[in-house]
């Protein structure tokens, strides 16, 4: 009877004992009891097994996340090393041929832009679209500026086009890309509706680009012939992706 009573008490205390929340006196008593009681010892081993099993997925997940992070880190470091070698080779060739740094500045800026963009894709977790688009916006501005300065001032070629053509076209297309990204990030649009919105906005972007470069005049915007040649495909694509997006939304 005493042993049965002791077993009942130990069984009640085992969860606390496993969590380490019993006093030292109770701990010694439970350990002495487990040495000679097979039933309580089996219950104790079962509790330990289930705790380890429950903790295992979390530990495995931590290990996988660490390995993935390490792979991304080594990939990015390797990419940076190759990019640095490429930039140095371009600068050496540029110095040997042109006695200065000209086109190698454009290549170096483009390579750095690509590295920063890849880092943004690898490192960002929340609001990845907005973060990547911010990098693209700043990087495009810097790359266009370097191209203009290098070609016009250092290579003494071309015209000063950046304010008349470069920046206006860049800003219009960045706005066209930003709107679907913002709709995806803040309004939770599905990817199909975002593609449909981009195709619709690209029609406007094509007209703006041609107006800025002088390929169009305002009368051409209302011309059916110009519309069929430059906007009909985007309009059909937007309708198709919009229908797919609406079907997916209803299915969800």
Binned at pLDDT 50, 70 and 90, residue 33 comes out as confident
Instruction: Kindly report the length of the chain.
Output: 252
Q: Provide mean pLDDT across the span 86-104.
A: 93
d(CA 205, CA 40) in angstroms, rounded, equals: 76
Binned at pLDDT 50, 70 and 90, residue 102 comes out as very high
Tokens of 52: 């380890």
% of the chain surpassing 70 pLDDT: 87
Residue whose C-alpha is closest to residue 196's, from 236, 229, 232: 236
- 8 A C-beta contact, residue 52 and residue 36: no
- Mean pLDDT over the full length of the chain: 86
Position 50 pLDDT exceeds 80: no
% of the chain surpassing 90 pLDDT: 49
Binned at pLDDT 50, 70 and 90, residue 2 comes out as very low
Binned at pLDDT 50, 70 and 90, residue 200 comes out as very high
Task: Indicate the pTM of the whole model.
Answer: 0.71
171, with CB counted inside 10 A (0-12, 13-18, 19+), is middle
- Cβ-based neighbours of 72, under 8 Å, separated by 6 or more: 122
Question: Residue ranges of the domains in the chain?
Answer: 64-154, 161-252
d(CA 197, CA 237) in angstroms, rounded, equals: 10
Q: What is the pLDDT of residue 1?
A: 37
Place of tokens 């919105």: 197
- Cβ-based neighbours of 48, under 8 Å, separated by 6 or more: 18
How many C-beta atoms lie closer than 10 Å to residue 184's C-beta?
19
- Cβ-based neighbours of 199, under 8 Å, separated by 6 or more: 234, 235, 237, 238, 241
- 8 A C-beta contact, residue 83 and residue 111: yes
7, with CB counted inside 10 A (0-12, 13-18, 19+), is middle
Residue whose C-alpha is closest to residue 160's, from 144, 136, 183: 144
* 42 vs 219, more confident: 42
- 8 A C-beta contact, residue 142 and residue 109: yes
d(CA 248, CA 242) in angstroms, rounded, equals: 10
Q: What is the pLDDT of residue 4?
A: 45
Binned at pLDDT 50, 70 and 90, residue 222 comes out as low
End-to-end Cα separation, the chain, in angstroms: 61
Tokens of 121: 């894709």
Position 122 pLDDT exceeds 70: yes
Binned at pLDDT 50, 70 and 90, residue 48 comes out as confident
């Amino acid at each position: 009877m005493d042993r049965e009573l002791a077993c009942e008490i130990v069984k009640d205390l085992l969860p606390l004992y496993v969590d380490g929340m019993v006093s030292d006196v109770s701990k010694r008593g439970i350990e002495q009891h487990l040495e000679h009681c097979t039933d309580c010892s089996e219950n104790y081993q079962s509790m330990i097994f289930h705790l380890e099993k429950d903790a295992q997925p979390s530990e495995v997940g931590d290990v996988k996340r660490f390995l993935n992070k390490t792979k991304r880190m080594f990939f990015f470091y390797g990419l940076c090393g190759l990019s640095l070698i490429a930039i140095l080779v371009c600068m050496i060739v540029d110095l040997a041929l042109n006695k200065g740094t000209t086109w190698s500045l454009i290549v170096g800026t483009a390579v750095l832009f690509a590295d920063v963009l890849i880092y943004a894709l690898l490192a960002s977790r929340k609001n990845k679209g907005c973060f990547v688009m911010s990098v693209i916006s700043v990087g495009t501005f810097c790359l266009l500026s370097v191209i203009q300065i290098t070609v016009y001032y250092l290579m003494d070629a071309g015209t000063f086009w950046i304010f008349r053509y470069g920046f206006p076209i860049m800003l219009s297309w960045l706005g066209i890309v930003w709107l679907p990204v913002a709709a995806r990030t803040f309004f939770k649009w599905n990817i199909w509706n975002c593609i449909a919105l981009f195709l619709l906005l690209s029609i406007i972007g094509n007209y703006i680009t041609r107006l800025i470069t002088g390929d169009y005049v305002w009368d051409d915007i209302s011309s059916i012939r110009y519309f069929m040649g430059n906007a009909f495909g985007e309009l059909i694509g937007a309708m198709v992706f919009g229908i797919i997006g609406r079907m997916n939304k209803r299915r969800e």
